[in-house]
Structure 1
Amino acid sequence: METITIPKAEIEQLHRELETLRNSSLYKRLLEFEKNISEGKRFTRADLGF
């Protein structure tokens, strides 16, 4: 395994971006979608509003 070094400022920015993503409605919809699929629920385009 190879070790890499990432500047502290870049790591902090990645953490902020990750927190922003986790708090977004799109991420919450993605989690809900994955949960529904794992429960075996199937949706058509009409169900989803397309």
Structure 2
Amino acid sequence: METITIPKIQFEQMQVEIETLRHSSIYKRLMEFEQNIVSGRKLSRNDLGF
């Protein structure tokens, strides 16, 4: 693993963005989708919103 250095301001901005994403509905839907895949659930295109 490599170590990189980024400016503190950029790091803080990344933390805010991650926190914002975690509270978004699309993130929750992605986590639900991932859980369904792990559990072996078969999904159709309609289930996925296509």
- Band of TM-score, shorter chain: 0.7 to 0.9
- Structure 2: stretches of 5+ with no match in the other structure: none
Bigger Rg, structure 1 or 2: 1
TM-score, normalising length from structure 2? 0.83
Equivalenced residue count is 50
Higher helix share: 1
TM-score, normalising length from structure 1? 0.83
- Superposed structure 1 runs of 4+ greater than 2 Å apart: 1-4, 46-50
- Could you tell me the percent identity over the aligned residues? 64
- Structure 1: stretches of 5+ with no match in the other structure: none
